[in-house]
Amino acid sequence: SSPLPIISQEEVTRHRSLKDGVWVTYQGGVYDITEFVSIHPGGEKIMMAAGGAIEPFWSLYAVHNQEHVLEILSEYKIGELKAEDLKKQSTFKSSDPYSSDPERHPALRTNSLKPFNAEPPPEILADSYITPTAFFFKRNHLPVPQVDPDLYRLHVEGLPRGVLTLSLEELKTRFPKHTITATLQCAGNRRSEMNKTRQVKGLNWGFGAIGNATWSGAKLRDVLLAAGYGPDVAQWARHVQFEGLDKEITGSAYGASIPINKAVSEEGDVLLAYEMNGKDIPADHGFPIRVVVPGVVGTRNVKWLGKIVVSAQESSSHWQQKDYKGFAPGIDWDTVDYKSAPAIQELPVQSAITTPAEGSVIDRSEEMLTVKGYAWSGGGREVIRVDVSVDGGKTWKEAKLKSSDKEGDQTSPPLGRAWAWKLWEITVPLPPEAQELELICKAVDNSYNTQPDTFGPIWNVRGLLSNAWHRVKVKISE
Ligand code: HEM
Ligand code: MTE
Ligand code: MO
């Protein structure tokens, strides 16, 4: 094929709109991405790069450092940047915004390094009712902000009395300290299984984007009351918005919101948490303050909390409006209309098998097989049963549920406030003659919601809410 034309920076810069075309440069190549803008998984942000280099954006949104992204880009190549213009771009080689991210345990399985996204080896999950903090999944969209606890201030805005500003010390001393045990799950947990049915867009999470921890802090309700929330505000307020201290290149903060009723209800148990598993919240999990919204999808549990806004509107952030929504199986990237679906809040019932692992080989002489896992439901709905099959769903047995690490502990939380998962376990005889087993688990919550058997009917373009029966194949050796 004939060589591509040489293009000057000046000409690239003339292409900065859908009307004139959208051109960008990358490592000396020039790309016309006009057609790609409307189907970009990261939304309209891509327009910031129009007419210029994408490197400084991609060092921040490092999700792009993957082969499949470069493959997409290569389809749009139209030329080579003039050599002398390429030289001038050296100033764009900015320092790495992730260089101050904290150390992480090497046992974590990393889905993306920058921003950091990782999950524990799944066997760890059901071996400990409280997930050790080091192994708790980490889901960051941006670099971890460094916050000096002495300078930290939380601003509570939107109330007629004006802004309430609190230091960390004030949050700890002015309000009673509450502790809850709550499970946090990312909306993308188990995405990789849905992805096998048909390709979805997003990080390829296994079934470890979930964890259970104790969280201590002030009740959001108490702080809102201190800031002037009352019956007059209840007339118009509908949402509570949260802003993180982690910021995009544009300066806009990570953000999300929850319905006001959840925030102010006595039974909502929403915390402004400063401790996780009895220690200061670590950097990756939101030091010094994160919101814990029990029963609600991970994304609304805003870390590095900087601002709370009581409002008639939902958060306008990308993550509230253009992501973390569910769609019908027929909706694809080119037909998706984010306005047509509500933001995910409470999550559906979920369960997974943590041992044995997919593909393990079981010795027939052992005669018995122990299957273990976790089960949880959103909205404070308690898991009341987990059914397990070792023959691909032909027959089922009920697993034993545990509400702590204590043997035989089956205590129930107050109705509607089952924030923590249950671990479960069952030991069954190995079916004679079988050489391969398909293990399955499914949970039932106290609204008698249960999990769908397959992913096809719940497939959605972003791979969220992935809660079909968990199936694990194991082999039996003679
Ligand atoms: C996500 C492609 C430019 C911001 C993605 C993804 C792809 C992609 C394929 C999904 C990645 C995955 O989840 O595996 C491209 C291409 C670009 C481009 C081909 C060529 C110009 C940009 C620019 C920005 C940007 C310039 C920002 C200024 C984002 C963000 C996400 C994303 C924020 C979402 C990350 C998340 O899911 O949290 N992009 N992108 N992209 N992109 Fe881009
Ligand atoms: N809060 C801020 N400020 N920035 C983030 O990137 N990620 C959200 C949520 N809160 C995020 C955030 C998402 S999508 C999830 S699933 C949880 O935090 C993950 O919490 P963890 O890292 O403590 O497990
Ligand atoms: Mo998430």
Q: For the domain that residue 164 is a member of, what is the CATH number? A: 3.90.420.10
pLDDT above 90 (res 248): no
Residue 332 belongs to some domain of the structure = no
pLDDT above 80 (res 1): no
Going from the Cα of 378 to the center of ligand 2, the distance in angstroms, rounded, reads: 17
In this structure, which ligand is nearest to the CA of 45? 1
Which residue minimizes the CA distance to atom 25 of ligand 1? 46
| Strand order across the 361-363 sheet | 361-363, 470-477, 436-445, 383-389, 397-398
Which residue minimizes the CA distance to atom 36 of ligand 1? 42
Same domain, 134 and 43: no
Same domain, 276 and 179: yes
Residue 432, pLDDT score: 86
Atom of ligand 1 nearest to the CA of 76: 19
In tens, the pLDDT along 387-403 reads 999 999 999 999 999 99
pLDDT above 90 (res 450): yes
Residue 424, pLDDT score: 97
In tens, the pLDDT along 258-296 reads 999 999 999 999 999 999 999 999 999 999 999 999 999
Atom of ligand 1 nearest to the CA of 141: 38
Which residue minimizes the CA distance to atom 13 of ligand 1? 202
In this structure, which ligand is nearest to the CA of 243? 2
Atom of ligand 2 nearest to the CA of 137: 24
Residue 106, pLDDT score: 87
Dihedral pair phi/psi, residue 87, rounded to 5°: -60, -40
Same domain, 146 and 74: no
Atom of ligand 2 nearest to the CA of 136: 24
Atom of ligand 1 nearest to the CA of 26: 21
Sign (positive/negative) of CA torsion 414, 416, 417, 422? Answer: positive
Residue 466 belongs to some domain of the structure = yes
Q: Is 237 in the pocket of ligand 1 (CB under 6 A)?
A: no
Which residue minimizes the CA distance to atom 10 of ligand 1? 41
Going from the Cα of 439 to the center of ligand 2, the distance in angstroms, rounded, reads: 32
pLDDT above 80 (res 73): yes
pLDDT above 70 (res 69): yes
Angle at 476 between CA 473 and CA 478, to 5 degrees: 165
Going from the Cα of 139 to the center of ligand 2, the distance in angstroms, rounded, reads: 5
Q: Is 45 in the pocket of ligand 1 (CB under 6 A)?
A: yes
Same domain, 289 and 434: no
Mutation test residue for ligand 1: of 22, 27, 44, 46, the one with most atoms within 8 Å of CB: 46
Could you confirm whether 186 is annotated as catalytic?
yes
Which residue minimizes the CA distance to atom 11 of ligand 2? 140
Atom of ligand 1 nearest to the CA of 249: 28
Residue 448 pLDDT level (bands cut at 50, 70, 90): very high
Q: Is 191 in the pocket of ligand 2 (CB under 6 A)?
A: no
Please, are residues 463 and 344 in contact by the beta-carbon 8 Å criterion? Answer: no
Q: CA separation (Å) from 347 to 183, 188, 266, 351?
A: 11, 11, 20, 12
Q: List, as one string, the DSSP characters of 344-363.
A: P-BPPPEEEEEESPTT-EEE
Which of residues 291, 325, 359 is at a domain's end? 325
Q: Is 303 in the pocket of ligand 2 (CB under 6 A)?
A: yes
Could you say which of 178, 186, 285, 290 is catalytic? 186
In tens, the pLDDT along 198-229 reads 999 888 999 999 999 999 999 999 999 999 99
Same domain, 359 and 305: no
Number of folded domains in the chain? 3
Which residue carries 């499914």 as its tokens?
A: 442
In this structure, which ligand is nearest to the CA of 139? 2
Same domain, 459 and 420: yes
In tens, the pLDDT along 46-67 reads 999 999 999 888 888 888 888 8
Going from the Cα of 141 to the center of ligand 3, the distance in angstroms, rounded, reads: 9
Q: CA separation (Å) from 262 to 122, 265, 269, 337?
A: 31, 6, 8, 27
The interface predicted TM-score (ipTM) is 0.81
What's the mean per-residue pLDDT of the chain?
95
pLDDT above 80 (res 95): no
Q: Is 64 in the pocket of ligand 1 (CB under 6 A)?
A: yes
Q: Is 46 in the pocket of ligand 1 (CB under 6 A)?
A: yes
Residue 239, pLDDT score: 98
Same domain, 307 and 357: no
Same domain, 191 and 297: yes
Same domain, 230 and 369: no
- Let me know if 300 is exposed, middle or buried by CB neighbors in 10 A (0-12, 13-18, 19+): buried
In this structure, which ligand is nearest to the CA of 112? 1
Residue 92, pLDDT score: 64
Could you confirm whether 239 is annotated as catalytic?
no
The boundaries of the domain holding residue 34 are 6-92
Could you confirm whether 441 is annotated as catalytic?
no
Residue 33 belongs to some domain of the structure = yes
Q: Which of 98-112, 368-382, 445-459 has the lowest mean pLDDT?
A: 98-112
Same domain, 188 and 317: yes
Q: Helices in 265-357 by DSSP H: which ranges?
A: 318-321
Interval 297-301 mean pLDDT: 98
Same domain, 228 and 125: yes
Could you say which of 76, 129, 139, 417 is catalytic? 139
Same domain, 187 and 319: yes
Which of residues 35, 63, 92 is at a domain's end? 92
Residue 230 belongs to some domain of the structure = yes
Residue 407, pLDDT score: 81
Separation between Cα atoms, residue 110 and residue 458, nearest integer Å: 26
State what percent of residues in the chain have pLDDT above 90: 85
